[in-house]
Amino acid sequence: MAKKLESNLKNMLLSLTFISMGMSAALGYVYMLTKDPIKKTAEMAETNAIKEVVPAFDNTPEAKEMDGLVFYEATKEGNPVGYAIKTYTEKSFSGRFDLMVGLLPDGTINQIFVLEQKETPGLGTKIKDPKFKDQFLKKNPASWKMLVKKDGGEVDAISAATISSRAFCDAVQKAYDSFMKNIGNQQTLSLPNDSTKKGE
């Protein structure tokens, strides 16, 4: 009886092992099938977001990473018209969310596009609503205090979603601070190892 029980246990373990291997292979196959389409969809959403947040441009903005954010310089006839900055925050109610913030060359906020968020439906998701995000437009964080009013700033928080509102401010401020640090009055987007190699 003990041998039979032992045999059945071995068979069960073998079966579970094969099932697990089969499921892993199936998941891997599905991942391979969906990886590229998901990536292309995300890239397309990012490209559309760039168009949404900066004035009309005639170049093909290239991604450049600085301070963990992604910058896209938009130019027209060779002159910068704006900067699309993919920024993020991890201070939201439901974890990280990503924004595309459009700044004019003087740092004024032109437009903001919510790329990805997982906030509470009907509450934190209102960060996407014009009623909330449009209050940031045409404001320059150099003179406009980008904090919710409860914290002494000028932002009207979403009712019952103060955490999401604060997180939104954090992401936009992060984009502005990085812009001022790396570009500021230079009005051109260049990295230290970019086109500054004059002696070569």
Asked whether residue 94 is assigned to any structural domain, the reply reads: yes
Strand order in the sheet with 63-66: 63-66, 69-76, 79-89, 97-103, 109-116
Residues 145 and 154: their CA atoms lie apart, in Å, by 6
Number of domains within the chain: 1
> What predicted TM-score, i.e. pTM, was given to this entire model?
0.74
Asked whether residue 70 is assigned to any structural domain, the reply reads: yes
Asked whether residue 173 is assigned to any structural domain, the reply reads: yes
Residues 180 and 146: their CA atoms lie apart, in Å, by 15
Asked whether residue 7 is assigned to any structural domain, the reply reads: no
- Domain around 86: 51-186
Asked whether residue 67 is assigned to any structural domain, the reply reads: yes
Digit-by-digit pLDDT tens for the chain (200 residues) are 555 656 667 777 777 777 877 787 777 766 566 655 555 665 677 889 999 999 999 999 999 999 999 999 999 999 999 999 999 999 999 989 999 999 999 999 999 999 999 999 999 999 999 999 999 999 999 999 999 999 999 999 999 999 999 999 999 999 999 999 999 866 555 544 443 333 33
112 CB-contact burial (10 Å; exposed 0-12 / middle 13-18 / buried 19+): buried
